Amino acid sequence: MLVVRSLLFNGAFWSWTILLAVLALPLLALPPPVMAVYGRFWSRGVQVLLAGLVGLTYEVRGLGRPGGAEPAIYAVKHQSAWETLALLLVLPDARIALKRELTQIPLFGWYCLRTGMIRIDRGGAARAMRSLIEGARRAVSAGLSVIIFPEGTRVRPGEHRPYLPGVAALYLHLHRPVVPVALNSGLFWPRRAFIKRPGRIVLEFLPPIEPGLTRAAFMTELARRLEAGTDRLLAEATVEPVAARGDA
C-alpha cells in the first residue's frame, strides 16, 4: 500500500536524518570536504530507504557531456526535494545555490554552510545577485561546479514558471558552460506531498550551452532545452496512482 510504504519511509527518513545530524556535530570543526563526504553518506542512506521501503529508484542519463574535469554550471529543473538529495551523489564535486532561509535552519543549515553550499542572500535583488555570483566564483576557483535551480522553487510537473535572472548572471560572469538537467521526480515524490510512489526517477544531463550567447538568447535556449527534455521524461514515466491496490 502506498500510504503504509510512505509512512514507513517518512519515519525512517527522519530517524536517519536526525541520527546523523546529531552524530555529525563534532564534525563541524573539520574541513568542508569531510562534511561533504558525510553528506553523501546521508544521501546514499536516503536512496537505500527509498528503494527498499517505497520501491523508488533512479537512473542517470548523459552525465559527463561537458567533457573534462573543468567546473560547469548545472541548471536543474526543480520538482521535488528528491533532487536536492540525489545531486549530492550524482555531482559530488558541485555545490548547490540555496536560499538564505534554508541555511538558517538549525543543524541542517549549519551542515549546508560547512559543506560549502552557496548561500543566496535575498535581502534585495542586487544583494541576492551579488551573493550568488560571489559564492559561485569561490566554488569555481576551488575547482567545483555550481548547481542552480533556474525557477528558484519547486514547480509541479507540467507547470511552467519564468526563469529567474540568476542563472543568466552565472552564465555571463563565470564564462562556463551551462548544462541543463531535466527530470521527472515530481511524479514520484511530489511537492509538499506525504505519498511517495514506486517507480524510477530519470535525471538527464542535456547537451551544454557553451559561453558566448547574449543574455536573451541564452535564456531562450535554456528554457527550450530544459522544458522539452523534462516534458519528454514526464511522458515516458510510469506512475502508480494513489488509489491503486486499494490505497486511499
pLDDT tens for residues 56-108?
Answer: 999 999 986 544 568 999 999 999 999 999 999 999 999 999 877 777 677 77
> What does the buried/exposed string (b/e) look like for 53-78 if buried means 16 or more CB atoms within 10 Å of the residue's CB?
bbbbebebeeeeebeeeebbbbbbbb
Q: How confident is the model at residue 69, as a pLDDT?
A: 67
| Residue 107: Cβ-neighbour burial (10 angstroms; 0-12, 13-18, 19+) | middle
C-alpha angle 141/144/149, rounded to 5°? 115
Q: How confident is the model at residue 167, as a pLDDT?
A: 96
Place of cell 510537473: 157
pLDDT tens digits along 187-208 = 999 988 899 999 999 999 999 9
- pTM beyond 0.85: the answer is yes
Q: Is the pLDDT of residue 118 over 50?
A: yes
Place of cell 517505497: 54
Q: What do you get for the CA distance between the two ends of the chain, in Å? A: 9
Is residue 55 a contact partner of residue 199, using CB atoms and an 8 Å limit? yes
Q: Is the pLDDT of residue 212 over 90?
A: yes
Cα-trace Rg, the chain: 18
212 DSSP 8-state letter: T
C-alpha angle 49/191/168, rounded to 5°? 110
Q: How confident is the model at residue 231, as a pLDDT?
A: 96
Q: Which long-range contacts (CB under 8 A, 24 or more apart) does 64-69 make?
A: 64/205, 65/179, 65/205, 65/206, 65/207, 65/208, 66/177, 66/179, 66/208, 69/143
Q: How confident is the model at residue 101, as a pLDDT?
A: 74
Domains of the chain: 2-246 (3.40.1130)
Q: Is the pLDDT of residue 247 over 50?
A: no
Q: How confident is the model at residue 123, as a pLDDT?
A: 64
Q: How confident is the model at residue 116, as a pLDDT?
A: 78
Q: Is the pLDDT of residue 241 over 60?
A: no
Q: Is the pLDDT of residue 38 over 70?
A: yes
Q: Is the pLDDT of residue 248 over 70?
A: no
- Band (pLDDT 50/70/90 cuts) for residue 7 is very high
Q: How confident is the model at residue 28, as a pLDDT?
A: 80
| Average predicted confidence (pLDDT) for the chain | 88
Q: How confident is the model at residue 43, as a pLDDT?
A: 94
Query: How far is Cα 143 from Cα 32, in angstroms, rounded to an integer?
Result: 14
118 CB neighbour count, 10 Å cutoff: 25
Q: How confident is the model at residue 243, as a pLDDT?
A: 45
- Count how many Cα atoms sit within 13 Å of the Cα of residue 242 in the half-sphere of its side chain: 10
